[in-house]
Amino acid sequence: MNIAVTKASLAPAPNGVTTRPQVRIVIVGHVDHGKSTLVGRLLHETGSLPDGKLEMLQAVSARRGMPFEWSFLLDALQTERDQGITIDTTQIRFRTPSRDVVLIDAPGHAEFLRNMITGASQADGAILIIDALEGVRDQTRRHGYLLHLLGVKQVAVVVNKMDRVDYSAARFKEISNEISAHLTSLGVTPTAIVPISARDGDGVTERTANINWYDGPTVVEAIDGLTPARALDELALRLPVQAIYKFDDRRIVAGRVESGDIGTGDEIVIMPTGKVAKVKSVESWPQTPVFGRQGAGRSVGITLDRELFLERGDVIAHVKAAPRDTRRLRARIFWLHDAPLKAGASVLVRLGTMETRASIVAIDKAVDPGELASIETSSIGRNHVGEIDISLANPVAADPYTDNPRTGRLVIEVNGRIAGGGLVLSVDSGQRAIPVDIVPVESALRPEERSARYGHGGAVVWLTGLPGSGKSTLARALERKLFSRGGSPLLLDGDTLRAGLNGDLGFSPKDRAENIRRLAEMATHLARNGHIAIVAAVSPASDDRAQARRIADNLFREVYVATPAAVCESRDPKGHYAKARAGNLPSFTGIANDYQPPANAELTIDTSTRSVTEAADEIERLLAGTGVLFGELNDLAANI
């Protein structure tokens, strides 16, 4: 085997790490078509191999009684060397005259398609390799299709092993036409088609006499023709929230700018909820704050001019160019999981930093991209692609990938492991209006002004417990007590609100959740303005109460009115238990035992062992002890 190659004609360029454009290239193709060999050859001919590596490869090959094998350079794992296949993707760097290249070697075996995708998803461009003897094969087509699906638009085709076909120009032409037709049908135009022999070095850095009929670029020239990924700065701002940090007195919203840019003073909208705020500052470390626009790719932290509830998975955008909020998506996906994806399946969808449960409503056009024959419409098999309709449990902010490649893609998780992924084709914006022109008006009074008058800060006192446990009675006593001390309490009784504001809601779990959400939103609004909102609501589901706690955040105080069920039923103030026992009150909480008691309530009270006055005193102590009530309280009643 010829390893005495032409001496490296490309010395490593002496430029610094920060000045040269970097391009990431994935090499894909059918198994045994020569990817790893081409990589080894490229590294060698660009002078990028470390000292001793060539000798090490010779020794490794000799030990196995084999001719010299370039692929051992990247196939670092024992199994790979022993079986002569690449199992996992790897990355290696080299330099051409004008670029720093990160070369991603991806396995060709169908079995390791997930590893090929893992590698290719990071790439700006691709080299698709084809064996001149074997021609275009299943995996060639499959990889071509997946590049297209992953959004890799620049593909240079390399026709390898030309030595096996006597450097035949006619054979080259034949393969060129076939692969061009395939790629073009996918919307990808090959940037170059290069005849080479990776083993012997023809066409890699030099056009040798063997291929004197070819006058196009060499592989290295073709690589130099690929451009780094397009800047995402020109697109609309998308900042998916990774987390909210409160390590000190700042409340920092952290995330990466996926597209567009952001800066202090920007008016932003938080999707999918549509809340509006302004960027107060951009925080950083060690210097803070930072000024100037923060563009796509930056991991940033911002503070807002008002206290809004937002959470991981929200997307920050500019008010006039927000993504759509939706519970329905259509996506084109590839499937990597052993078990096929079936219509009706329950999965987890990740879109940016958002995660939500979802179900697959319908499957269309499931194909094996290697054969491109339509095979299924009710499931997508392993390593196949398909178009699906997804119904999401929670609303998400999403863009079609044609509008934004970063926020227009998703992955699907099964049993905690990524099982597939793909592009958002279209977004059904659902029923909710896009709230571009909702701008909350702030109160004329600052919360401190009210605090000074009332002697307390704002709070949400959330009384939860079985029907008849004494919530409303206790709430009224507390309301009276706080008011008589000069405070500003307000009772929000669950039943009372159902008579008006929440009159459209029934008692399904979904409606109950919405009922609690509205109660929590209203209570939080009051609390932010300095009042003490006393909520009395059965609120049986711990998830719903957790949502209320998230909405009210640090204003929330949960009081579990833990009166024994038997006592509650014997009281039956509204006659509900009697009706329910008679079978006339479906979905009544208490009889069916669907009440989920709180695990972390700030206070637990049993009204069967406490008088109403004692219980109200306990809540008052809770409020004083957690900083809601302060100063000398005026007991107005005492002065009468």
Partner 1 sequence: MDHLDELEAQSIYIFREAFARLKKLALLWSLGKDSNVMIWLARKAFFGKVPFPALHVDTQKKFPEMYAFRDQYAKEWGLDLKVDFCPPIEEIDPTLPPAARSAARKTEGLKLALAKYGFDGLIAGIRRDEEATRAKERVFSPRGLEGGWDVRDQPPEFWDHFNASPPQGAHLRIHPILHWTEEDIWAYTQRENIPIIPLYLSNNGKRYRSLGDQDITNPVVSNASNIDEILTELKGTKVPERAGRALDHETEDAFERLRVAGYL
Amino acid at 13: A
Q: How far apart are CA 185 and CA 236, in angstroms?
A: 30
Ligand-binding site membership of 471 (annotated): yes
Among positions 35, 256, 275, 471, the unique one binding partner 1 when judged by CB under 8 A: 256
Minimum distance between the CB of residue 260 and partner 1, rounded to whole angstroms? 14
| Cβ atoms of 344 and 326 closer than 8 Å | no
Ligand-binding site membership of 465 (annotated): yes
78 binds partner 1 (CB under 8 A): yes
Per the structure block, which two tokens stand in for 479?
Answer: 């309301």
Ligand-binding site membership of 40 (annotated): no
Minimum distance between the CB of residue 171 and partner 1, rounded to whole angstroms? 35
Nearer to partner 1, 250 or 525 (CB): 250
7 binds partner 1 (CB under 8 A): no
Ligand-binding site membership of 583 (annotated): no
What is the H or E stretch that residue 295 is in? strand 294-295
Q: Is 539 a catalytic residue?
A: yes
**Total number of residues binding partner 1 (CB under 8 A)?**
66
Ligand-binding site membership of 478 (annotated): no
Ligand-binding site membership of 510 (annotated): no
What is the H or E stretch that residue 292 is in? none
Amino acid at 243: A
Minimum distance between the CB of residue 385 and partner 1, rounded to whole angstroms? 14
DSSP 51: T
Nearer to partner 1, 48 or 473 (CB): 48
DSSP 583: T
| Cβ atoms of 545 and 461 closer than 8 Å | no
Which residues are CB-contacts of 474 (< 8 A; sequence separation ≥ 6)? 463, 536, 561, 605, 607, 612, 615, 616, 619
Minimum distance between the CB of residue 69 and partner 1, rounded to whole angstroms? 13
77 binds partner 1 (CB under 8 A): yes
Nearer to partner 1, 385 or 562 (CB): 385
Nearer to partner 1, 113 or 482 (CB): 113
Minimum distance between the CB of residue 66 and partner 1, rounded to whole angstroms? 14
CA-nearest of 253, 349, 265, 240 to 308 is: 253
Site map for partner 1, 109-148, x if CB under 8 A? -----xx-xx-xxx--------------------------
Minimum distance between the CB of residue 47 and partner 1, rounded to whole angstroms? 8
Span from 31-39, 245-253, 392-400, 539-547 in contact with partner 1 (CB under 8 A): 245-253
What is the H or E stretch that residue 169 is in? helix 169-185
Nearer to partner 1, 115 or 139 (CB): 115
Span from 46-54, 175-183, 484-492, 561-569 in contact with partner 1 (CB under 8 A): 46-54
Q: What is the DSSP string of 403-453?
A: T-TTTSEEEEEETTEEEEEEEEEEEE--SSPP-TT--PPPPSS-HHHHHHH
Q: How far apart are CA 231 and CA 234, in angstroms?
A: 7
Q: Peptide bond preceding 400: is omega within 30 degrees of 0, i.e. cis?
A: no
Instruction: Report 280-339 residues binding partner 1 (CB under 8 A).
Output: 283-286, 288, 295, 297-299, 301, 312, 336
From 539, 570, 587, 608, the catalytic residue: 539
575 binds partner 1 (CB under 8 A): no
DSSP 209: G
Span from 134-142, 238-246, 494-502, 510-518 in contact with partner 1 (CB under 8 A): 238-246
Among positions 8, 31, 169, 254, the unique one binding partner 1 when judged by CB under 8 A: 254
CA-nearest of 433, 423, 432 to 390 is: 423
Look-up of token digits 């669950």: 494
Per the structure block, which two tokens stand in for 61?
Answer: 């090959």
Which residues are CB-contacts of 570 (< 8 A; sequence separation ≥ 6)? none
Instruction: Mark out the alpha helices in 281-417 (DSSP H runs).
Output: none
Catalytic residues: 539
Q: Which residues are annotated as a binding site for ATP?
A: 465-472
Q: Which residues are annotated as a binding site?
A: 465-472
Q: Which spans of this chain sit near partner 1 (rule: CB under 8 A)?
A: 12, 14, 16-18, 22, 49-53, 60, 63, 73-74, 76-79, 87-93, 114-115, 117-118, 120-122, 150, 242-243, 245, 247-248, 250, 252, 254-256, 283-286, 288, 295, 297-299, 301, 312, 336, 350, 353, 409, 411, 413, 416-419, 421
